[in-house]
Amino acid sequence: MSVSRAPWPATRMRRMRRDDFSRRLMRENTLTVDDLIYPVFVLEGINQTEAVPSMPGVERMSIDLLVKEAEELAALGVPAMALFPVTPSEVKTLDGREAWNPEGLAQRAVRAIKAAVPEMGIITDGALDPFTTHGQDGIIDDNGYVLNDVTVDALVKQALSQAEAGADVIAPSDMMDGRIGEIRNALEAHGHIHTRIMAYSAKYASAYYGPFRDAVGSAGNLGKADKTTYQMDPANSDEALHEIALDLAEGADMVMVKPGMPYLDVVRRVKDEFQVPVYAYQVSGEYAMHMAAFQNGWLDQDKVMMESLLAFKRAGADGILTYFAKAAAIKLKG
């Protein structure tokens, strides 16, 4: 940065920080409710809730209660929800075929929410891990290796079933090569020309996902296995740019970096390089760490929650998937 200002005392940087009005006038980034996407977990049953122990304040909800939640979120101005099904163990299979069942839990939830709150954007997850007996995001061979091309075929079926149920955005989180192009082509061929794709383009093989896997019930299936053969190495950021470029070339409308706060450098690089809609996911582990500190009185909940979300905006994110979305929306409205 070239220095063009006069030296001290002609320039006093603190002058503009002295009063609220001048701090507001020079504020570079602002968090609004329009930046928030609320991830939710849906389970079978009626009037059913289950707490997620590793994510204090987060509950799995049956469809009827999720519809009410959608109504509350719409009233707060939250533009979109990201839907994750808690698949019963009896319908999990090696190939995850429940993922494209037109009467599957996610598909029914989409239809119910869109019928009650049509203005709410619904984002559905594209991956097989909630539906497989082994907890991997794709179909495996005899050695446990996730097969790319056969998994892409399954993901296309899943995406079509979600689009036909009324999902506004398909969000493939699987990290298979070539899946964005195949999903885009299938959506176009079946008349779903307005269905958007939010690609989990730079999804890292992170240790921050543990509570989420508890929430959707895939942790036990995965066991001691990992996802390092398809999710990205946390050491790499150049690779993320290649992944983003490929997904955009294949037809992604939006791209995502996941996890969030530990990877804000990647968010910044992606935004600077491509200048497309970029999203970040403040994942379950990030949420759990914050909540532990809040519950122990070590950090101020409202202030730290809002500061953490503003950091995403400063890094260049156009929106944030966060379990704090509802609480932040209430704070912003108040």
Known catalytic residue at 258: yes
* Beta-carbon count within 10 A of 41 CB: 22
Give the active site residue among 203, 271, 313, 326: 203
Known catalytic residue at 224: no
- The closest of 201, 184, 312 to 257, measured between CA atoms, is 201
Q: Are 65 and 42 in contact (CB under 8 A)?
A: no
Spell out the residues 6+ positions from residue 19 whose beta carbon is closer than 8 angstroms to its own. none
* Beta-carbon count within 10 A of 193 CB: 8
Alpha helices in 46-120 (DSSP H): 63-76, 105-116
d(Cα 140, Cα 148) in Å, to the nearest integer?
9
Token look-up 């002609």 returns 10
Give the active site residue among 92, 258, 313, 326: 258
Q: Are 167 and 245 in contact (CB under 8 A)?
A: no
Q: Supply 196's token pair.
A: 């958007």
Pairing state between β 254-258 and 196-203: parallel
Q: Please give the single-letter amino acid code of residue 230.
A: Y
Work out the end-to-end distance of the chain between its first and last CA atoms, rounded to an integer number of angstroms.
38
Where are the strands (E) in 31-128, listed by range?
36-43, 49-51, 59-62, 80-85, 121-126
Q: Supply 50's token pair.
A: 């289950």
Catalytic positions are: 203, 258
